Amino acid sequence: MSARRQSMTQHHLPPPPVLKVTRYDLFSSQMMAIAIFLGFGVAVLGAYWFVNRLPPPREAIPVEMVELPGGVEDGAIDETLQVDSPEPETDDPSMAEVEAEETQIQETLENVVDVAEEATNQAVQQFQQDTLNTGKIGSAAGSGRRALGAGPGKAGFGREERWFVRWGDRDALETYAAQLDSFGIELGILQNDGRIVYLSGLSQDVPKSRVATSGKGEVRLFMTWQGGDRKKADLLLIDKARNAGVQVGDGLIFHFYPKETEDMMANLEKQYRNKRPEQIRRTYFAVRGSRNNFEFYVSRQTYLQ
DSSP state string for 66-88: ---EEEBTTSBTT--S----SSP
Task: Report if residue 274 sits inside a domain.
Answer: yes
Pairwise CA distance, residues 238 & 302, whole Å: 34
Residues 170 and 268 in one domain: yes
Q: How high is the pLDDT of residue 92?
A: 63
> Which residue stretches of 92-211 are H helix?
159-162, 173-182
Pairwise CA distance, residues 194 & 213, whole Å: 7
Q: How high is the pLDDT of residue 55?
A: 79
Could you tell me if 248 and 189 are in contact, meaning their C-beta atoms sit under 8 angstroms apart?
yes
Q: How high is the pLDDT of residue 200?
A: 92
Q: How high is the pLDDT of residue 191?
A: 87
Q: What residue numbers bound the domain in which 124 lies? A: 99-133
270, containing H or E segment: helix 259-273
Chunked into runs of 10 residues, the chain (305 residues) has average pLDDT values of 53 70 85 92 90 79 65 62 61 57 46 48 41 48 54 72 86 89 92 89 89 87 83 88 80 92 93 89 91 89 85
Strand-strand pairing, 163-166 and 186-190:
unpaired
Residues 181 and 282 in one domain: yes
Residues 169 and 288 in one domain: yes
Residues 195 and 118 in one domain: no
Task: Report if residue 154 sits inside a domain.
Answer: no
Nearest to 183 by CA among 198, 197, 202: 202
Q: How high is the pLDDT of residue 165?
A: 92
Sign of CA dihedral 154, 158, 162, 163: positive
Residues 281 and 169 in one domain: yes
Residues 115 and 226 in one domain: no
**Which one of 88, 115, 133 terminates a domain?**
133
Q: How high is the pLDDT of residue 71?
A: 64
Task: Report if residue 124 sits inside a domain.
Answer: yes
The tally of domains found in the chain comes to 2
Q: How high is the pLDDT of residue 32?
A: 92
Residues 120 and 180 in one domain: no
Task: Report if residue 195 sits inside a domain.
Answer: yes
